[in-house]
Amino acid sequence: MKRKLLTLLSLLLLVFSLSAQTPAEVRSMIERYHNLTIPTYSTYPPIPLGEVADAPRGYEPFYISHFGRHGSRYELGSKAQKRLLVTLEKADSLNLLTDVGKQALGYVREAYAKQQGNNGQLSALGAKQLREMGARTAQNFPEVFQNGGVINARSSDRQRCKDSRENFVKSLCEAYPALKVENSSTEQDMLIMRPLERRDKSLYTEEMADAHRTHARRGEWRKLRKEWGNEQDFTSALRVITHSPEQFLAATKSHSFHFMHRLFSILHFALNFEVGSDEFLSQIYTDEQRYTMYLFSSFANVCYYGSEGHPYMDLRQACMRPLIEDIISYGDKAVKGENGDTVAHLRFSHDTYFIPLVIALGYDGYKPKYMDTDVEKAATSVNYSMMIPMGASFQMVFYRNRRGNVLVRTLINEQDATLPIKSSTAPFYRWKDLREYFQKRMAELDKVSGLVK
């Protein structure tokens, strides 16, 4: 089946890749795509999708290896919503809210009400995202599925991941009814789906978990981030929702930036379960303020979730070994024809594991350096928003020609991603070169992390 070449839109997407950017480029990205303001909160797709590129002539897809984050969900809990609701209701009782402020209060009430009984669950929007992604996978790579076969679909034991799996697979089976599905969420699967949890046989030890907790609660980065936030003045944004910023801050014991960032975060997240709108948020926040909030949020990701140059961060990546080995093992079997009737291995998990996987493998030159001394420099060295929206996906598509040569492409959020591998067909790489690169990266991570002495 003939594939369309990359469109102009797709070429524009390459500008906003996962790799390092300048502050000016990040500002431009936020101005163009408001959805990217808070990394990990973005709905899917993070920006409009382009077309799938042609494979080299004579190559057809025969196998897919997938690792993805669950789709849009509800908050994990409602405490933050409740605190914000109490604050805004107090301000309203003092007649401090403008009409826009009263609208904000209404949206927070709605979000809090919809949240009840749904903590952490996949939202209707999240289910739609995964169904549409499954349908695009079926449409873009029909050769993989058109003769039937087995879909091996594993997921984290969290219900939102199981539901994401069900919605993705449902679309594949609707397009190709002859497909058979093997679902699994066993304890053994969790070593691969959730490798950064303490379990029997897990590489993630209790000592590592303790180090994580200490770094999260008392790391220098937290102090710097809070102080940096204290230096930001969001009085102009606050003035949109209250008649008197001074009285509001005094009555609620708030700080202009920290309060307005909290309000934005909760209402931006609420878009994942279809409460409010970005148009409403744009009545309150300027593009420059969105950029500031991006820095504040992205800095936390650099220092807490994924980067290089800090012992804990290096360990997080090294602990991805079971997942990477799983990808390599089934890839080898697919190439050798030893997967039986299985045409795809699908894995559905969480951002906590997606981030270190992509960093560990070094896609798109994505090697953020740990830095807890300069918020803006650290935050603009990476593009977390493009990498890890709700529903983020990592798909390796295997192609073969009549001579039996195998090429593999990797799609991150359905856009081609590149690796530091010499290839005349990039972003399509020989499987032999790709697996050797993966193994080399794992050995490097083992060494730098001290996981293997």
| Per-residue model confidence as pLDDT tens digits over 208-230 | 778 778 887 878 889 999 999 99
Beta strands 406-412 and 393-400, pairing class = antiparallel
pLDDT one-digit tens code per residue, 398-448: 999 999 999 999 999 999 999 999 999 999 999 999 999 999 999 988 887
Distance from C-alpha of 168 to C-alpha of 152, rounded to nearest angstrom = 12
Distance, C-alpha 272 to centroid of its chain: 13
Region 160-177 average pLDDT: 98
Region 89-115 average pLDDT: 98
Give the per-residue SS3 of 275-290.
CCCHHHHHHHCCHHHH
Distance from C-alpha of 30 to C-alpha of 287, rounded to nearest angstrom = 7
Does residue 11 have a pLDDT over 50?
no
DSSP at 364: G
Secondary structure element (H or E) that encloses residue 406, with its range? strand 406-412
Question: Are the C-beta atoms of residues 320 and 190 closer than 8 Å to each other?
Answer: no
DSSP-based three-state secondary structure for 150? strand
Reported residue count of the chain is: 453
114 assigned to some structural domain: yes
Region 317-336 average pLDDT: 94
* pLDDT given for residue 18 in this prediction: 54
CA distances in angstroms from 38 to 112, 208, 251, 394, listed in the order given: 20, 28, 28, 20
> What per-residue string of b and e applies to 38-65 under the rule 16 or more CB within 10 Å gives b?
bbbbbbbbbbebbebbebeeebebbbbb
Question: Are the C-beta atoms of residues 374 and 27 closer than 8 Å to each other?
Answer: no
Does residue 234 have a pLDDT over 70?
yes
35 assigned to some structural domain: yes
* pLDDT given for residue 425 in this prediction: 94
Distance from C-alpha of 157 to C-alpha of 153, rounded to nearest angstrom = 12
417 assigned to some structural domain: yes
Does residue 187 have a pLDDT over 80?
yes
pLDDT one-digit tens code per residue, 369-379: 777 788 998 88
Top-confidence residue, 18 or 103: 103
Region 312-320 average pLDDT: 84
* String of DSSP letters for 103-142: HHHHHHHHHHHHHTT-TTPBPHHHHHHHHHHHHHHHHH-H
Give the per-residue SS3 of 261-275.
HHHHHHHHHHHHHCC
1 assigned to some structural domain: no
Region 188-201 average pLDDT: 82
* pLDDT given for residue 384 in this prediction: 81
Q: Please list the helix, strand and coil fractions of the chain in percent, rounded to the nearest 5, in that order.
A: 55, 15, 35
Distance from C-alpha of 20 to C-alpha of 414, rounded to nearest angstrom = 20
24 assigned to some structural domain: yes
3 assigned to some structural domain: no
Top-confidence residue, 389 or 216: 389
2 assigned to some structural domain: no
CATH number of the domain encompassing residue 73 = 3.40.50.1240
Distance from C-alpha of 284 to C-alpha of 242, rounded to nearest angstrom = 11
Region 121-132 average pLDDT: 98
* Domain with 202 in it: 8-449
* pLDDT given for residue 293 in this prediction: 97
Total domain count for the chain? 1
Distance from C-alpha of 410 to C-alpha of 428, rounded to nearest angstrom = 8
Question: Are the C-beta atoms of residues 380 and 187 closer than 8 Å to each other?
Answer: no
26 assigned to some structural domain: yes
Does residue 198 have a pLDDT over 70?
no
**Helices 311-318 and 206-218: angle between axes, nearest 10 degrees:** 140
* String of DSSP letters for 21-48: --HHHHHHHHHH-GGGSSTTTPPSSSS-
* pLDDT given for residue 15 in this prediction: 43
Does residue 317 have a pLDDT over 90?
no
